[in-house]
Amino acid sequence: MKTIHVNLSADSYNIYIGKDILAKVGEIVAKDKEPCKMLLITDENIEKIYGDVVAESFRQNNFDVKLLSLPPGEEQKNIENALLLYDNCFAHKLDRKSLIVALGGGVVGDLSGFIAATFMRGIPYIQIPTSLLAQVDSSIGGKVAVNHPKGKNMIGCFYQPKAVFIDTNTLSSLPSKEMVAGIAEVIKYGVIRDAELFAFMEKSMDAILQLQDEALLKIIATSCQIKANVVEQDEKEKDLRAILNYGHTIGHAIETVTHYKQYRHGEAVAIGMLYATKIAIELGIADTSVFDRQLSIMKNLGLSIQTGLKSEDIIKALYTDKKTVSGRLRFVLPTKIGEVIISDKVNDEMLYRVLDKPLLAF
Ligand SMILES: NC(=O)c1ccc[n+]([C@@H]2O[C@H](COP(=O)([O-])OP(=O)(O)OC[C@H]3O[C@@H](n4cnc5c(N)ncnc54)[C@H](O)[C@@H]3O)[C@@H](O)[C@H]2O)c1
Ligand SMILES: O=C(O)C(=O)C[C@@H](O)[C@H](O)[C@H](O)COP(=O)(O)O
Ligand SMILES: [Zn+2]
């Protein structure tokens, strides 16, 4: 089992990465935590496959487990489900020493973390991510939130988990479209921080999609390490952490405009990364190879790269982006593979110019 430490003073924690971890999680957690009341939150797809093994692993270590599963999907990451989960915290008599465990993709992770952060002003929680996206990104770093009809992740806070357990075996049941959506966030890490990771993806995509152990460990551990490094330097996104938002400004706008129903998060981010790169090329800070290399991986993965959405709807939604300061948009833009800058030089006129052209017509 590989361990990556996230160093955040009193809020530090470990990310454990390996195979066959699910059945052992209860035992590992019990080494540091007295048995207690526990709410295990998951979704219906994941409950069917992994609910019992995780619940049993905690029960065998004397945790008093209540399992609650929500329907799957991004639309479930809402304040109504947060209220439902608080009701369950009360019904199961959770107190400040109790434990919340998030077993699932990013939707379960973000929502469960939000409950843990806010119930009784904060109780401990653990992330057990089962999608690639959650393993490389959402389970780490403590951004927890629910969506609002006006914008993605608009109601939330920063609240770190006590530990993250990544069992790469869970990817064997992950539908391929979900795998591809997760790969989009790995492409993001390559573009913002790691040209070598990007090149690895260019040459090893077949091994990744075939879930070969070495390739999976490489992309998951490298992504976790990059995220840990960035979060350690800027936990609350004062500055540097905004680079993790590459592709998300337009990506989140696409998700909001389509009411969180039409695109997986990773799919919207992929389109957002291509548009951000087009903007960088328009500004003269990146050359076309930066676009072509990303496009080539995305085409290879079968990612759809057109939206058919109206530019004005996307631009309107952009202004609720959390990086906007005093009404000025701030974009994360690549200068080359492995390096990005944060720019406030992008105006509406340029956005219309870029968004009005189909991505492939450039
Ligand atoms: N907090 C953060 O830093 C952060 C980072 C990135 C993304 N996110 C959030 O994460 C969410 C997207 O996460 P996601 O892509 O995991 O989506 P998701 O949670 O909706 O999971 C995708 C689908 O895969 C299924 N699934 C998950 N693991 C499975 C498995 N092992 N086997 C079979 N089915 C499985 C789920 O049931 C669901 O249907 C978005 O809400 C996004 O905003 C948060
Ligand atoms: O952890 C971060 O910081 C990120 O930006 C990671 C993103 O992949 C993730 O989608 C995040 O939830 C977006 O954050 P937001 O603050 O723009 O909602
Ligand atoms: Zn994301």
pLDDT for 158-179, tens place per residue?
999 999 999 999 999 999 999 9
CA distances from residue 338 to 106, 136, 199, 319, 358 in whole angstroms, order as listed: 25, 17, 10, 27, 25
Fold agreement between 2-173 and 176-361? no
Cβ atoms of residues 305 and 271 within 8 Å: yes
CA of 20 to the centre of ligand 3 (A): 26
Question: Is the per-residue pLDDT at 362 higher than 80?
Answer: no
Given 188, 248, 264, 278, the catalytic residue = 248
ipTM for the predicted complex? 0.99
At the topology level, CATH places domain 2-173 in: Rossmann fold (3.40.50)
Distance of CA 249 to the CA centre of its chain: 14
Mutate which of 8, 143, 342 for ligand 2 pocket (most atoms within 8 A of beta carbon): 143
Q: Domains of the chain: which residue ranges?
A: 2-173, 176-361
Cβ atoms of residues 78 and 23 within 8 Å: no
pLDDT for 131-140, tens place per residue?
999 999 999 9
Is 137 a pocket residue for ligand 2 (Cβ < 6 Å)?
yes
pLDDT for 198-220, tens place per residue?
999 999 999 999 999 999 999 99
CA dist., res. 245 & res. 282, Å (int): 20
pLDDT at 361: 63
Given 188, 193, 264, 265, the catalytic residue = 265
pLDDT for 101-117, tens place per residue?
999 999 999 999 999 99
- Domain 176-361, CATH 3.40.980.10 — does that match? no
Is 290 a pocket residue for ligand 2 (Cβ < 6 Å)?
no
CA dist., res. 1 & res. 167, Å (int): 10
CA of 324 to the centre of ligand 2 (A): 14
